Amino acid sequence: MLGWAIMFFVVAIIAAIFGFGGIAGAAAGIAQVLFFVFLILFAVSVVASVMSGRRPPVP
């Protein structure tokens, strides 16, 4: 998910450089939404991991 957000951010930067304001704004908006979804899912997974009490295996 973070990879998609970074990809849309790069598309927005390139579109802004070439003067495509509408496309740049749309791509930046999509990147922002994907980034916040990533943050929410990451926080949920961290909380679930802490609540389960499992420790990761030590190699």
Q: How far apart are CA 14 and CA 25, in angstroms?
A: 11
Q: Is residue 57 part of a domain?
A: no
Distance of CA 28 to the CA centre of its chain: 11
* pLDDT the model gives residue 56: 67
Residue 54 lies in a domain: no
How many domains is the chain built from?
1
C-beta separation of 3 from 43 below 8 A: no
- List pLDDT tens digits, range 2-59: 788 888 888 888 888 888 888 888 888 888 898 899 999 999 988 888 888 766 677 7
Rg of the chain in Å (alpha carbons): 17
Quick one: pLDDT at residue 21? 83
Give pLDDT, residue 39: 93
Determine the Cα–Cα distance for residues 21 and 9; give it in Å rounded to an integer.
13
Alpha carbons within 13 angstroms on the beta-carbon side of residue 30 total 18
pLDDT for the residue 6: 84
The residue range of the domain holding 38 is 2-49
| Global pTM value | 0.70
